[in-house]
Structure 1
Amino acid sequence: MKNQIHAWRPIAPLRTFVLVLVLTFAAEGTIMLMLPFLPPWATTRQVQGLIDATILTLIMAPVIWWLVVKPLRHLAEYRGELLHGFLQAQEEERSRIARDLHDEIGQQLTALLVGLGTVEAAPDLPSAQRLARDLRQVGATAHQEVRRLASGLRPGVLEELGLIAAVERLCEDFEVFHGVPVRLEASATVSGSLSLPAETSLYRILQESLTNIARHAQAKSVEVKLARVGDMVELSVVDDGRGLPADTNQALARSSVGLGLKSIRERAEMLRGDCIIRSADSGGTMIQVTIPLSESV
């Protein structure tokens, strides 16, 4: 049996309204049918009203509990979990950026400072020029690291070229850095159909999916599809790696898995979309996110 998880959704308002109407009608009908069997003293208006209110309260109390109170409590708890997850993810992202700044940019700047001191103390012009060329390379490396960090914080390619180009570049970078080929199928009809926040969320979902593949899947190939299906936009990422652990379904339900999969699911839910994470037919993992266009404008 394939491991699979769907994003949690509350009870549909229309379905709840219809169910309450049906139960109310059944309660009132039951009361009316019981009236002819009541003793004469119970046929006064005051007693009938009291009996009506009592029976209706006894019938509707559990209905209100199950259809209103319990979903609201569940929704409040779920909102707290989402908020906690986002705050935790935010703190971890800040820690990662701090480490990158310290380990990469900090070291490059230190090398520049030391190198400038060496240039200042150079005995002749050729020696200073040689040191300056080395420092120029150090500066170029630091510049690339700054661009990489900036791209991680805000993918400017989304604003400049759009979602399709950003996805293509992300897949190309993944192939270059990890040596795993990516087959991309992106429909041009997606361009211009989403708001920038929705495009950013889809971009981050793909980014997180590819990151999980690089860290855990040991995959030999990846297939990415981005298409518009009716009034929905669908993104799917399939790899041929190790697949999901046997307890992934329960772990996702408990929200006890890593922040990667939780982040994907939470981003989909924020757009009122559907998120499916399951074992793929190829033996790897499939992540499929579908969001409605009506929620993305």
Structure 2
Amino acid sequence: MSYKWLKWLILWIPTIVIGVWEYVRHAFLLPYISMDLGNLLAPVFVFSVTLTLLRSLFKKLEGMQNSLKQQEVMKAAFEEREQLARELHDGISQSLFMLSVKLNKLDKAATPDDAARTMEEIRNTVRHVHEDVRQSIGNLQTPPAAPDTNWLQSLHNVIGEMGLASGIRTEVDWQLQDGMLTAKEKIELLAIIRESLMNIRKHAEADAVTIKAEAVTDRGDGKHCFHCSIEDNGVGVDEQKLEKKGKYGVKMMLERAHSMGWALQITSKESGGTVVNICGGGKKR
């Protein structure tokens, strides 16, 4: 029995019972039961019959609620695993692979100078892996941005998490009002920005990043629209390689955008660097 039917039965059974009781009382029981006694017995009789009929329905409803709670627990566990997978994406695995390559190179070093240079590269790679692991642990321990957190405050927190403030010049031009997007949309957009900044820090070799966001013309369907871009001046990106297996960070960005009904595009600039564009509609007015 569906939840919809349960609701209708719970609504109608008391009504039907009181109707049947009043009909039987007036048609057959008036010679035996006075009006005062009938009025007194009516709520007792209706309550007893209704409780008897609804017990199984309430039991089924409780079972459905318990099942829903179990599904919510499983969903929460799955989301935690998805979050862990996002944090342990291709950056760490690539760094470990490069570490193994450099160790092999160290074994084959022909001169002490070659060995010293390779050891320095290994130290840098280990340092990079260490930073990635610390960042992943930090992201897992950090709760998502609260719905009432100011946009600029949230953005600067993300920039600080990525370690960009000290090494990469970051410019923020944020024209979206706090109430422009829902809490969930805000969390998802900040997560995409965080992943974009992580990729810039790891792969772009950039020294400047610009984050822009603005409201755009209403599409006429009762929704405000927004456009957000994350632009760097690094080495650019090979767009054909973005869909390859192992690009888990990019995949999760695309999945986040798709789940919100947004369009996300990653392109290289002719002048050098990469632009991540996110376009979507905010909550209805």
* Higher RCO (Cα < 8 Å, 6 or more apart): 1
TM-score by length of 1: 0.46
* Higher Rg of the two aligned structures: 2
